Amino acid sequence: MKINGYILFASLFLCSCASGPRSIIVENTTTKNRIAEMVELKVSALKAGFEKKTYVLKNADQKEIPYQLVYGENKKPQTLIFQASVNANSVSTFTLSEGKPSAVEPKTSARFVPERKDDFAWENDLAAYRMYGPALANENPSNGVDIWLKRTSQLVVDKRYRDELQNGITYHVDHGDGLDCYKVGHTLGAGGIAPYVDDKLWIGNHYDSYKVFENGPLRSTFELTYDSVVVGKNTYKQIIRISTDAGKMLNKAVVRYEGAKQTMKLAGGIFLHDGKGSLKVTPEKGFVAYAENAVSDAGVPSGRNYIGVFIPDKKTESTKDSSHILLSADYIAGDEFTYYFGGGWSKWGYANDNEWFKAMETFTENVKNPLKVSVK
């Protein structure tokens, strides 16, 4: 399926002065090249009111670049996003002008999956994920994250569910484009989050409701609400908003706890399974990463599975409990808590453990030093 351009249905409309094309300048002030990195520009920076016209974005070589207009909870677009490549200590210039944009092959998706016990599943061109819903209430699910490994940039979630449920072709075995070999159980899985209070990890249950804000082609954003998260003698409502971007190795999550009245620690966790994997723990840089063997349900070795958690802009601590490596930081009551989580595979993009660990470090540096975007 292709989505015509820029989200919103055919006629959306960036403000531009009627006078002609606008130049969008993306600057890289770091000493490393930045490749296909998602950048954001506030629509308000494009000036003038909205006009019911469509627009085409091109790079300096006059190649058309896909973009997406992001609405959030608003009726009008708030930001324009696209992937930009910029050499070290350089700028790249893009031109936005009136025209009919080409159709865009979606690189992200997110959806409720009622046909599979209320899963909520999402993916980008690098990996797929799911979290568990109300239909699993009697099976002791957690608010942990499951990861589906993939070695294709195509979207696979719908096909895998269809093959499993309608054709009896299990997604727990690799049939050519990847598999789900990750076991979550009642843990945080591949980067879930929970309060860490009184030296105890208070893992939640299934989500109770969901809301989708954006659904491709370059970003998908949704929100899951957990009505009753028990922490000692207290019960809170947890709301987590997750975004996945094309080409981005980790998901961005923004978490808040309604009812919390004092500071408490939150911990992003990685389930260690048998504990025999390779671990990189760098709380001083705000991330932990893990690499372990991936094995299909048929017992077939399937390379290495990689998981990472990153908490920016906070003092972090790492610890182990009986099942996890945890990265924790303070959550201020009434505030929001931002962190990143996700994973990869040795058969798609990361040849070995060290490449994954290095990619995690590069990702954290890029988040801390975003590309700068301006308009002329």
What's the CA gap between 35 and 133, in Å, rounded? 36
Residue 223 near residue 211, CB atoms below 8 Å = yes
Residue 10 has pLDDT above 70, yes or no: no
Check: CB of residue 177 under 8 Å from CB of residue 373.
no
Lookup: tokens for 116: 């599979």
Nearest C-alpha neighbor of 343 from the set 327, 368, 360 = 360
Cα–Cα distance for residue pair 368/201, rounded to 1 Å: 28
User: For the chain, percent helix, then strand, then coil, each to nearest 5?
Assistant: 10, 50, 40
Tokens of 321: 């409990």
Tokens of 119: 């899963």
Q: How far apart are CA 375 and CA 246, in angstroms?
A: 23
Could you tell me which residue, 252 or 9, shows the higher pLDDT? Answer: 252
- DSSP structural state of residue 76: S
CA of 238: how far to CAs of 56, 194, 209, 224, 297, in Å? 40, 9, 11, 8, 33
Contact of 80 with 214, CB cutoff 8 Å:
no
Q: pLDDT above 90 covers what percent of the chain?
A: 89
CA-to-CA dists, residue 251 to 240, 246, 248, 375, angstroms:
12, 10, 7, 28
Where residue 14 falls among pLDDT bands split at 50, 70, 90? very low
Counting Cα atoms < 13 Å in the Cβ hemisphere of 57 gives: 22
Mean local confidence (pLDDT), 138-153: 96
Cα separation, 12 vs 6, in Å, equals 8
pLDDT tens, position by position, 296-323: 999 999 999 999 999 999 999 999 999 9
- Cα separation values, 120 from 23, 176, 225, 236, Å: 39, 24, 12, 21
Give the residue among 269, 185, 264, 208 at the shortest CA–CA distance from 231. 264
Residue-by-residue DSSP string for 287-302:
EEEEEEEEE-TTS-EE
Would you say the C-alpha torsion 173, 174, 178, 182 has a positive or negative sign?
Answer: positive
Q: Is 159 helix (H, G, I), strand (E, B) or coil?
A: helix
Cis peptide before 134 (omega within 30 of 0): no
**Gap between the Cα atoms of 164 and 268, Å rounded:** 30
How far apart are alpha carbons 298 and 300 in whole angstroms? 6
Q: Which residue segments constitute the domains of the chain, with CATH numbers given? A: 3-103 (2.60.40.1180), 109-368 (2.70.98)
Average pLDDT over residues 201-221: 97
Would you say residue 230 has pLDDT above 60? yes
Mention every residue, 6+ apart, whose C-beta is less than 8 A from residue 159.
none
34-42, strands of its sheet edge to edge: 34-42, 79-86, 67-70
pLDDT recorded at residue 54: 83
The tokens describing 188, both together, are 């945080």
The C-alpha atoms of residue 102 and residue 88 are separated, in whole angstroms, by: 30
Average pLDDT over residues 285-299: 96
Report the alpha-carbon angle 311-238-288, nearest 5: 20
List the structure tokens of 50.
Answer: 């909205």
- Confidence class of residue 19 from pLDDT cuts 50, 70 and 90? low
313, with CB counted inside 10 A (0-12, 13-18, 19+), is exposed
48 falls in which pLDDT band (50, 70, 90)?
Answer: low
Residue 140: closest CA among 175, 75, 89, 185:
185
Residue 161 pLDDT greater than 60, yes or no: yes
Q: What is the average per-residue pLDDT within 187-200?
A: 97
Decide if 223 contacts 194 (C-beta within 8 A). no
Least confident of 4-13, 92-101, 246-255: 4-13
pLDDT value at position 12? 38
Q: What is the pLDDT of residue 47?
A: 64
Q: Is the pLDDT assigned to residue 45 strictly greater than 70?
A: yes
Which pTM does this prediction carry? 0.94
> Which candidate, 235, 238, 241, 245, places its Cα nearest to that of 223?
241
